[in-house]
Structure 1
């Protein structure tokens, strides 16, 4: 049994923390909305604390899965932040998708405080979190990662260190860049099929078995054709992530013309009232355009 803290009980963090408790670890959770932390304890056991610092007290590993850069800073730093409560030699593992800049900042702060730090953004969506089948891309010191990997494997189908601090976040950016283009391509293919008078399901049945096949096609084409988007990864969050990608590309010189274009298409979806729709709602935008 390992003493753990988990900060952030959103659609991803809630089941991830549950897997840790079910595996026999001693888990203390923190969430800004206390009622959600109480609900988690009622469902899974463990304990909850009113501040990140108190949740992290005595923990060997502190995991976080929050919203953005500012949210992450708030649970790490300050008098009530986790770093203030962590014992020397403990490790902070961040599963949030954030900028490389805040990762560098917090890695340095953790190092100064005698703590380990692993940036470990995740992919696999809510279903992956619930089923313990997430892909975790990690950055950080090799020995710190090696110690944290068995804990992360509790909810992972694949967990890998890509490189030093920040490498996990950079890999997650590559992931989101790839998804943006794939979803737009799938949306255009289904839109074209409809305009050509073809049955979309029959089209996908054939093309999914060849080079056009993808996770997005296998898992999203039916809901797209049925005009159902109240599930999955929200457009608001995707735009946050793509903003990080585009800002980083401006710094490192990468050319991301398709990503920039798709980001603007997602902006159109937001204007349609679809900020909380699944990212596959790019298809709904095309249908609206006619």
Structure 2
């Protein structure tokens, strides 16, 4: 059993912290910007809650963060009452936020200067993956720190991989989002085409999902796409944030992402028709409005 702090109890962080407590058996203290949610988590899972990131991190072996973006991340780590001010030497900081590789490297450097280690460890699998404890975790950092942290991370994951040095976890997550963007657009266009052609989409998916076109998105989203239901899952706003990170990184490293840039604009159109919180499969709604 390790002593753990978890900062950020959104749709991902809330169940992830729960798995650390119940499945992992760790001593968990949580922090959330809205204290009422932290109090609720503590009552539900039998852990503790703190009123500041520093208070939550005091004396802990591992400190996790799962917040919104680079600015939120800097706030809970190196901002006033941030966790870095309270973390003990030899402890490990693990960030599950989808953020930039730049901030991952910045925080790793600041952590090292203070005598503790850091890993950037963004996750894939969505809210369902978090709730079921089957996330995929892409980690950047040194191998020794990774091996120390892996058993704890595995409390909420089915796959945990070390991708390279600091920032490599975030870069891998960018590839994940780039691949998903093009895939979902292709699926949306295929289903739109099938509907216009008068085909039974359930029958179509039943067949093609078992062939080369099959994907997680097809298996898990086709029924709700056919029904035109999008009020769940990974939100368009979040996907645009992630794709923005991808495109900014591509500007730095010279990568060409024409499809990603195009799909990002398609998601902007979905936002404009009221779909900011719709699931990312709502690209179909843009074609059928």
Aligned to 2:285: 284
Alignment-derived partner of residue 204 in structure 1? 205
Deviations 1:23-63 (A, max 9, x none): 22110000000000010011001100000000000000001
Q: Once superposed, what is the RMSD of the aligned Cα atoms?
A: 0.6
Q: Where does structure 1 differ by over 3 angstroms across 4 or more consecutive aligned residues? A: none
| Structure 1 residue aligned with 2:30 | 29
TM-score normalised by L of structure 1: 0.98
The answer to whether structure 1 residue 7 and structure 2 residue 1 are counterparts is no
The SS at the match of 1:269 is helix
Q: How does 1:134-153 map to 2 (within 5 A)?
A: 134-153=135-154
Alignment pair present for 1:118 and 2:116:
no
Residue aligning to 2:185: 184
For structure 2, the residue ranges without an aligned partner over 5 or more in a row are: none
Q: Does 1:59 align with 2:60?
A: yes
Q: Distance in 2 between matches of 1:175 and 1:115?
A: 29
Distance across 2 between alignment mates of 1:128 and 1:112: 34
- 1:195 and 1:224 map into 2 onto residues whose CA distance is 15
Structure 1 residue matching 2:115: 3-state secondary structure? coil
Give per-residue Cα distances to partners, 1:202-226, cap 9 Å, x unaligned: 1111111110000000000100010
User: Which residue matches 1:40?
Assistant: 41
Aligned equivalents of 1:91 and 1:83: distance in 2?
11
1:165 maps to 166
| Aligned-partner SS, 1:284 | helix
Match of 1:50 in 2: 51
Cα deviation digits, residues 2-36 of structure 1 (max 9, x gap): 10000000000000100111122110000000000
Stretches of structure 1 that go unaligned for 5 or more consecutive residues are none
Per the normalisation by structure 2, the TM-score is 0.99
Q: Using the alignment, how far apart are the partners of 2:80 and 2:227 within structure 1?
A: 50
- 1:269 and 1:24 map into 2 onto residues whose CA distance is 42
Return the alpha-carbon distance in structure 2 between the equivalents of residues 47 and 30 of structure 1.
9
Q: Distance in 1 between matches of 2:141 and 2:34?
A: 30
Would you say how many aligned residue pairs link Structure 1 and Structure 2?
Answer: 288
Q: Aligned partners of 1:134 and 1:269: how far apart in 2?
A: 27
3-state SS of paired residue (1:177): helix
The residue that corresponds to 1:270 in the other structure is 271
1:78 shift after superposition: 3.0
Distance 1:115 1:231 in 2: 38
